[in-house]
Amino acid sequence: MLSGWMDPTFRLVALGTALIGAVGGILGTFALLRRQSLLGDAMSHAALPGIVLAFLLTGSRDLPVLLVGASLSAWLGALLTVLIPRRSRIRPDAALGVVLSVFFGLGIVLLTVAQRRPTAAQAGLERFLFGQAATVLQRDVEVIAVAAALILLLLLLFWKEFKVLAFDPAFAAALGLPVAALDLLLTTLIVLAIALGLQAVGVVLMSAVLVAPATAARQWTDRLERMAILAGGLGALSGLLGTWLSGRIGRLPTGPMIALCGSGIALLSLLIAPRRGLVWTLRRQGGRSRVGSAG
């Protein structure tokens, strides 16, 4: 049963998905705490037209080329979700929905166009919908590893700034921190993490890689630092498990498996975590209610 773990191809692919899961989990911690989980979903869907356009314009399927396309388009999507509510009467939640569906729709149209082209080069572009980790090559994993290291380095350098930004943005601004620039940097890091995961996980379920490990980690700890590390670990675990399961069961897209593993861990945590878990809360009920104890 464990023979799959020894296969070098599997190990390479699993390293890639574990890195994607780890980076997604750590950045997802900030997305979750800043109540931007849905923004992650909109951004990952918004990446699709960028990927296909990058392919159509360059004819290349190299990961770095597609990453640039994906990042630019996801970033544009994020910008629009901020600008639309500010410049119109459309509310933020509706703006998220508009951006997600318009960009994703455009991406599907472009994908159809690309697939009608007479060359064979477009084969496999549809894997960006649901992810196919088996197509990840060694140089792709190298790109992922370098980008992941860069993201982690920037997070470490600006950790206390991101922390105060996430907890109390008004206080951060009063300290004289360039809040808009930090916000932009954090959003850009999340965009990059999403773009990294698109090949293995796909645009449709990438937000689960951001949100599920962070949701699970929040249940187990009350410190930001521990939460981020734990979310990274659980993200890597879902990446590994999902890749293994999709290979084991055979020809299943990796994205849904990774998303299912992450969501499974999150669900379990929501149920059984000490103090915050549902089981814990139910057992405590009958005593004093939580709301009544404040004051």
According to the binding rule CB under 8 A, does residue 176 interact with another protein? yes
Compute the chain's Rg from CA coordinates.
Answer: 20
The CB-of-189 to another protein minimum distance in angstroms stands at 17
Stretch that binds another protein, among 36-44, 103-111, 116-124, 167-175 (CB under 8 A): 167-175
φ, ψ (nearest 5 deg) of residue 45: -65, -35
Q: Can you tell me whether residue 198 is helix, strand or coil?
A: helix
Q: Which residues pair with 287 in a beta bridge?
A: 285
Q: Is the Cβ of residue 145 or residue 229 nearer to another protein in the bound state?
A: 229
The CB-of-169 to another protein minimum distance in angstroms stands at 9
According to the binding rule CB under 8 A, does residue 167 interact with another protein? yes
Of 224, 194, 219, 225, residue with least CA distance to 209: 194
The CB-of-218 to another protein minimum distance in angstroms stands at 7
CA–CA distances in Å: residue 193 to residues 43, 130, 133, 159, 292: 11, 16, 16, 17, 41
Stretch that binds another protein, among 57-65, 119-127, 140-148, 159-167 (CB under 8 A): 159-167
According to the binding rule CB under 8 A, does residue 41 interact with another protein? no
Stretch that binds another protein, among 124-132, 171-179, 184-192, 262-270 (CB under 8 A): 171-179
Selected from 146, 175, 271, 279, the binder of another protein by CB under 8 A is 175
Selected from 98, 224, 267, 272, the binder of another protein by CB under 8 A is 224
Angle (deg, nearest 10), helices 8-33 and 179-201: 150
Cβ(204)–Cβ(130) below 8 Å: yes
Complete DSSP assignment for 46-84: HHHHHHHHHHHHH----HHHHHHHHHHHHHHHHHHHHHH
Cβ-based neighbours of 162, under 8 Å, separated by 6 or more: 30, 155, 182, 186
The CB-of-171 to another protein minimum distance in angstroms stands at 6
According to the binding rule CB under 8 A, does residue 173 interact with another protein? yes
According to the binding rule CB under 8 A, does residue 89 interact with another protein? no
Selected from 53, 67, 227, 236, the binder of another protein by CB under 8 A is 227
Cβ(240)–Cβ(14) below 8 Å: yes
User: Which DSSP category does 250 fall into?
Assistant: -
Q: Which of residues 178-197 bind another protein (CB under 8 A)?
A: none
Number of residues that bind another protein (CB under 8 A): 26
The CB-of-37 to another protein minimum distance in angstroms stands at 14
176: left (phi over 0), alpha (psi -120 to 50) or beta: left
Q: What is the largest CA-CA distance in the chain?
A: 70
Selected from 40, 46, 161, 235, the binder of another protein by CB under 8 A is 161
According to the binding rule CB under 8 A, does residue 5 interact with another protein? no
According to the binding rule CB under 8 A, does residue 218 interact with another protein? yes
According to the binding rule CB under 8 A, does residue 292 interact with another protein? no
What does the binding site for another protein look like in residue numbers (CB under 8 A)?
33, 157, 159-161, 163-164, 166-168, 170-171, 173-177, 218, 221-224, 226-227, 294-295
